[in-house]
Structure formats: C-alpha cells, structure tokens
Amino acid sequence: MEAARVANLGLRFLLELSALALAVWGFSDGEGVWAWALGLGAPLLAAVLWARFVSPRAAGQVAEPVRLAVEVLIFAAAVAALVALEHPVLALALALVWAANKSALVVLDRRVPA
C-alpha cells in the first residue's frame, strides 16, 4: 500500500507541474508587455495560492473545503488554458488524471484503526 501511495504522490507532483500550462497560455494569448504579464503572472499567482492554501507546509492550515476549492480552481485554470491553447484532449486528460489521482490520495490516506 505504501508503494502505491508514493507512486501516487509522484504523479501528484507531475500534475502540479501541469499548472505551467498557464504560462504557455499567457505568453501565447497576450501581446507585448501583456504577454509577459500573463505569462509570468498567471503561474506565479497559481504558485502563491498553492503555497498559501494547498501545500502541506502552508503557513497556518486552512479548512479542507477551502483547500480543495483552491486546488480545483488552479487545476480548472490549467484545463481552461489547455482548451484555450486548442488542446482539448490534453485538457480532458489532465482533468481525468487529476480526479483519479485526488480520489486515490483520499483512499490511500485513510488509516485503518488498529
């Protein structure tokens, strides 16, 4: 069971990196300075939100519904960025893999009482 949890956490890290689709979207959607602002600002905002609300090492833990809402918002933005970049298959794959990964993490984190 521990190997499955570690593998799922590895997948989770790769999913977190998918939020970099926000940078690709920002740089391709904007023009001039606006492209730089979107390309750097969108992933930076996602990283700040992740660090503040979702990260296990967040300063001051927040309620689980808030944590989940921020996580969903960030992944939904990455999915929307992929759709805007005309990669709907990748967007669907990201959404499905995230949902499966989140579900597996919930199940694998449950502890059986001794």
Is the pLDDT assigned to residue 112 strictly greater than 50? no
pLDDT tens digits, 31-60:
888 889 989 999 999 999 998 998 877 767
Q: Where are the domains of the chain?
A: 2-109
Number of alpha carbons in the 13 Å side-chain half-sphere of residue 16: 16
- What 3 state SS string does 72-87 have? HHHHHHHHHHHHHCCC
Would you state the structure tokens that stand for residue 34, as one six-digit string? 């606006």
User: pTM score, two decimals?
Assistant: 0.83
- Which residue type occupies 93? A
Question: How many CB atoms sit inside 10 A of residue 82's CB?
Answer: 23
What mean pLDDT, rounded, does the chain reach? 86
Is the pLDDT assigned to residue 15 strictly greater than 50? yes
Is the pLDDT assigned to residue 97 strictly greater than 80? yes
**pLDDT for the residue 114:** 37
Would you state the structure tokens that stand for residue 94, as one six-digit string? 């990201």
